[in-house]
Amino acid sequence: MHEIDSTLEISDGKFHRLLGPEALPAFGDTGELEATWGRRWGAADEVGRLRSVLMRRPSQGLANVRANTYNEELGALVDPELRWYWTGRDTPDLDLLNAQYDDFVTTLTRNDVEVVFAPELPATFTKSVYTRDPLITIPGGAIIGRLAPRMRRGEEQSITATVAAAGMPILGTVTGSGLAEGGSFQKVRPDTAFFGTSVRCNPEGYRQLARILEEFGITLKRVTLPGYLIHLDMCAVMLDDDLALVNPRLAPYDYMAQLWDLGIETIEVDPREEWACNMLALDRRKVIMPDHFPRTAEILSDRHDVEVLPVAYREMLKNGGSVHCSTMELQRDWS
């Protein structure tokens, strides 16, 4: 038997004491994030200067949408096997769709926004262009959600790998029977966020998110979306720390009332432009907005000093989402 060098054991212990532990500064300290993770990942709100977004190009599977699947009741082309739907009677104009998407990306890069692309998925993932949904971001990193419809289940793994490969910390994951999608999550204050439960986001998803966010000093307020409205970003968007655009015919009253209690002024969309809220803030009072909502754009620019950068995006909207849905902020300026 070999004798143990007791001197070495004592020496090793002293080295461990000398080298650590160093619990402070804490993980979320900006200097600590920059030194350990390369940058100040995440976002404290949805209106700070946008630095980096997550996107994925439109699915090749949209070429499989067939004209003989029109459902009169739903007003859409619907796959009998539920792998896709496309609103209206006409099949996708893929050349137009991709051209409009590329123009949107160009608008982002011209405004000095880094675009991180998730890889293409199999053709069955026809909604994977909507990178808003599989995750949320807060100061310090990302929380991975859990998507509700079977046609989208599995995007979470790809998004997790993409975000992690970019260097962003993963702060938590919704598990079990929880359903939580980023389109129904909205940051309004560094310490306050809203989550709309719906046909796509259940109370268990809210409970898990609220528990994770509590560790980061963020209170998550739950509101219930009406009918089959799937996400909060379909009826509301923040434009500045004290300004939001809402569709009062869809937004829950208790949500709007809580915005008012926080001192946030609400602007109403033009009633003829039901889905005008789905836009992306580049900075405070500077937004990218689909160009087929000109009346609401005029309200924003003329009455509220909001700079509107219009992009053509109508073809993508037929797939079920717009510019906000097609992006997830990986980094906004925060302190």
- Tell me the per-residue pLDDT of 25-79, one tens digit each, with 9 for 90 and over: 999 999 999 999 999 999 999 999 999 999 999 999 999 999 999 999 999 999 9
The per-residue pLDDT for 142 is 98
The per-residue pLDDT for 312 is 98
* Banded model confidence at residue 8, pLDDT cuts 50, 70, 90: low
- Tell me the per-residue pLDDT of 163-206, one tens digit each, with 9 for 90 and over: 999 999 999 999 999 999 999 999 999 999 999 999 999 999 99
* Mean pLDDT on 87-104: 98
In angstroms, the CA 270 to CA 280 distance is 18
Q: Residues 140, 171: contact at Cβ < 8 Å?
A: yes
Q: Residues 122, 112: contact at Cβ < 8 Å?
A: no
pLDDT at 3 > cutoff 60: no
Cα–Cα distances in Å, from 101 out to 128, 132, 230, 314? Answer: 14, 15, 23, 10
* Banded model confidence at residue 10, pLDDT cuts 50, 70, 90: low
Residue 133: phi, psi to the nearest 5? -85, -35
Cα distance between the two ends of the chain: 59
In angstroms, the CA 114 to CA 72 distance is 41
Q: Which two tokens stand for residue 165?
A: 């490969």
The per-residue pLDDT for 194 is 98
* Banded model confidence at residue 122, pLDDT cuts 50, 70, 90: very high
Tokens 């082309």 -> residue:
77
Q: Residues 156, 134: contact at Cβ < 8 Å?
A: yes
pLDDT at 1 > cutoff 60: no
DSSP 166: H
pLDDT at 9 > cutoff 60: no
Rounded to the nearest 5 percent, the helix, strand and coil shares of the chain are 30, 25, 45
The per-residue pLDDT for 2 is 55
Q: What angle do CA 199, 222, 322 make, to 5 degrees?
A: 55
* Mean pLDDT on 118-140: 98
* Mean pLDDT on 234-239: 98
The per-residue pLDDT for 233 is 98
Average pLDDT of the chain?
95
The per-residue pLDDT for 49 is 98
**Residue 250: what residue type?**
L
The per-residue pLDDT for 15 is 73
pLDDT at 256 > cutoff 80: yes
